[in-house]
Amino acid sequence: MKYLALALLFSTSLMAASPEVVQYMNELSKTAKAENSSFNGFDVARGKEIFTSTHIGKQGKPMACTSCHSTNLSSSGKNTLTGKMIDPLSPRANPQRLTSAKEVKKWLKRNFMDVYTREGTAQEKGDVLTYIMKN
Amino acid sequence: MKTLLNLSVATLILAGGVYLYADDHEEGEHHRSSTVAKPLNKQDQAAAALYKKECSSCHMAYQPSLLPKRSWDKTMKTLENHFGTDATLDPSDHKTIQNYLTSYASKNDRLVDMKGAVALRISETPYFVREHREVTKKMVTQPQVKSFANCNACHSKAENGSYREREISIPNYGRWED
């Protein structure tokens, strides 16, 4: 029993995302391929660009994902509007991250709308998730 | 390990069992911001927990009794632009939260004197404005408070629905004496 728990802990830490989130990323990958035949897997560098670049956001002001989440994914961020602390995005620093596909879908949609004023393509979503997983 | 798990489950149940909410203020009545423990049924407890989880990821989960039903209806209808941010929810969660907010909304209108306008911000309601009339702009805009939306910056028990005067402590100013 103890060994099983240890083995489970070990394997989930290696994946950096829960099976349902991995499953969601597989769906994103299929959609990305269908939308763009030259799609060849998600990319950390593209994900980083999506996460760190500045855009005119929903409020008509320059905004980036890092405006709230900060550039260090292992540290806490701060909601620029309310001042409320945001727990680290990195699954290594915060094991709660990337465990629920429902949460992941909700926040990707909301935050793409806030920063990009559009929902984001399957490829973009997968790229940014890959970036978060690797950080 | 099992004992620990049982213990934490028991704590969760206890925490959810009694939900404190702010007293519904009568118009013109002062210093009655006491809390009343009102037991919620299982379904409402789950809805209250969902409301807290969803809404307090960005801000304090304001007690439903701080606004009338029509304000909550308007808020829930405009989540795609919720004070400049997208706060949309999954349809099922949206429905649960809207039902919870509207069934525990203030029974008092709270919006009288607003010439028909439906307040989205609690801080726009005449009762709120009156209660905070002596609070200076500097007290509110300082970084430790940021805005009137952060009730808990000064009301130490706001998250439990208690807004008693003796629980007020304004950062860099101290206790509030009327």
Residue-wise pLDDT for A37-49, tens only, equals 999 999 999 999 9
Using an 8 Å CB-CB cutoff, list chain A residues near B86. Answer: 58, 109-111, 113-114
Percent share of chain A, pLDDT over 90:
87
- Does any CB of chain B come closer than 8 Å to the CB of residue A109? yes
Q: Do B70 and B141 lie in a common domain?
A: no
Chain A residue with the nearest C-alpha to that of B87: A110
Interface test with chain B among A59, A82, A119, by most B beta carbons within 10 Å: A82
Taking CB atoms and an 8 Å limit, are B88 and A110 in contact across chains? yes
pLDDT above 60 (res B34) = no
Taking CB atoms and an 8 Å limit, are B86 and A83 in contact across chains? no
Using an 8 Å CB-CB cutoff, list chain A residues near B146. Answer: 82-83
Whether residue B23 lies inside any domain: the answer is no
Model pLDDT, residue B14: 43
Domain range spanning residue A78?
A: 16-133
Instruction: With beta carbons less than 8 A apart as the criterion, state whether A123 and A35 touch.
Output: yes
Whether residue B21 lies inside any domain: the answer is no
Whether residue A5 lies inside any domain: the answer is no
Chain B residue with the nearest C-alpha to that of A82: B59
> How many structural domains does chain B have?
2
Instruction: With beta carbons less than 8 A apart as the criterion, state whether B16 and B8 touch.
Output: no
Confidence of residue B10 (pLDDT cuts 50, 70, 90): very low
Whether residue B10 lies inside any domain: the answer is no
Instruction: With beta carbons less than 8 A apart as the criterion, state whether A86 and A76 touch.
Output: yes
> Would you state the structure tokens that stand for residue B175, as one six-digit string?
């206790």
A122-133 vs A101-116: helix crossing angle, rounded to 10: 110
d(C-alpha B156, C-alpha A89), whole Å: 28
pLDDT above 70 (res B176) = yes
B110: number of CA atoms within 13 Å, CB side? Answer: 27
Instruction: With beta carbons less than 8 A apart as the criterion, state whether A31 and A25 touch.
Output: no
Using an 8 Å CB-CB cutoff, list chain A residues near B80. Answer: 113
Q: Do B137 and B106 lie in a common domain?
A: no
- Does any CB of chain A come closer than 8 Å to the CB of residue B99? no
d(C-alpha B26, C-alpha B112), whole Å: 12
Q: Do B116 and B176 lie in a common domain?
A: no
Domain range spanning residue B49?
A: 41-126
pTM attached to this predicted model: 0.81
Question: How many angstroms away from the CA of A104 is the closest CA of chain B?
Answer: 12
pLDDT above 90 (res B18) = no
Model pLDDT, residue A25: 97
Whether residue B174 lies inside any domain: the answer is yes
Whether residue A9 lies inside any domain: the answer is no
Q: Do B110 and B142 lie in a common domain?
A: no
Q: Which of A46-60, B44-58, B106-120 is the least confident region?
A: B106-120
Chain B residue with the nearest C-alpha to that of A2: B1
Taking CB atoms and an 8 Å limit, are B58 and A79 in contact across chains? yes
